[in-house]
Every structure is written in structure tokens, then in C-alpha cells.
Amino acid sequence: MPTEVERIAEWLRAEVSGAGKSAAVIGLSGGIDSATVAALAKLAFGDQAYGVVMPCESDPKDADDARFVAEAIGLQYRTVDLTPVYQALREAIGLPDGTPRLAVANLKPRLRMISLYAEAALRGALVLGTGNRSELEIGYFTKYGDGGVDLLPLGGFLKREVRDLARQLSVPQRIIDRQPSAGLWEGQTDETEMGMSYAELDEYLATGEGSPVIAGLVENLRAASAHKRRLAPIYPR
């Protein structure tokens, strides 16, 4: 009987083939979600899976971990340094002093997605996203950034379930144990920005149980981010 990872790989092959494509492109961040999707892509497409490492005024350790993952699983990859483009874009836009930090930082995932779609066009590929259910439910992703993808193989899995998939796929332990971070600014972590731990979030999503504080936070985030999970509404003529 096929394992879960084998079923995901078969689903990826069917979706990519159904779109008239033959390959997959993944952004490599050095985190567990990215590494797990990369390993799934390698399983599904072999040498037709391609990774892109995209440093963008970010911690050099992120790119080091991303390359480490690619080499550990035998994934073809290349590095595209987006730092000069990011800095030029900030200057061209002329963001004033006092612009919210997140508004500035969200330029990074949107630049990365531009790069991934350019790579996909060159490869005849679809872009695989790395978002998991825990993050998608509360809108913890950048609209038209890391949320702008073709397929979400982890979209039905809680963060704790992604760790299980990562172990099945032999993702290196140091990546599984790494503190989750979107790498948007120095010292940023997912759990600090979300206001709760993944353990608390996963438990609430799985069972509906949690403290009143966690329940209120999750439901407020769900409501506030609903627009991120749907296509743009069309005026009903």
C-alpha cells in the first residue's frame, strides 16, 4: 500500500501532467516546509525538480541551509541573489520613514515569487508552494508572495504533521529542529509574529480545543485573512 509521501508524489505528478507541464520548481529557504516540499518534488519528478535559493538582504545562514538541503536530497538548484533588486525597488518606490516593517519586508516574498515563475517558464514547470495548513488557516503568508503558487502539497497538513512527513523523507534533522522563521528581518520567528506556538495552533485546529486567548486569536486571524484564501471577487453584473 502506498505511503502518504508516495500518494502526495503521485498527486503532484498528476497535477503537473494535467497542466501540460513536466517539471516542478521550488523556492528553497532552508526551513522544514521548503525542505519537505523539495524532497517530495525530488521523489515525484527526479531530475525534473528544480530548486532556487533566493537570498534577499537575509541571514546568510538561510541560504547555507537551503543549499545544504538541496545537496542532501540531490536536488538541482541555483542561487539568485535578489538583494540588489530589493534595495533598488525600495529606492524606486520611495517608501517613507515610518512605513510598517511588514509592508517593507513583504517585498521579499513577492520578488521571490517573480523569480520562481520566471524559472518555471524556462523549465516548463509549475511552482510548488510550501505553505502548510496551520499557516494557511490564519493567513500567515504573503498574498501574491509565498501564497502565489500553483500547487500546495502541504496545504492539508498541520505543522506537526509536516515534521512527520519530513522524517519519512529523510530531511536532515538539523532542518527539522530549526526554529521556524520566514526570514523577513533579523531575529524574526514565526511563533513570535503569530502570537502563539505551533503546538497551540495545531491543537486548536485539530480539536477545536484551546484557551480562550488562543481560540480568539485564531478566529480573529482567520476572519482577517479570509481575503487571502480566495480569488479576487468579481462584480456581479
From 62, 65, 119, 135, the catalytic residue: 135
Question: Residue 137: phi, psi to the nearest 5?
Answer: -60, -35
- Location of C-alpha cell 536530497: 73
Task: State the Cα–Cα distance between residues 123 and 109, nearest whole angstrom.
Answer: 21
> Which 3 state secondary structure label does DSSP give 153?
coil
Note if 193 is an active site residue.
no
Note if 33 is an active site residue.
yes
**CA distances, 218 to each of 138, 184, 189, 223 (Å):** 6, 22, 18, 9
- CB burial of 137-168 (b: ≥16 within 10 Å; e: otherwise) equals bbbbbbeebbbbbbbbbbeebbbebbbebbee
Residue numbers annotated as active site: 33, 135
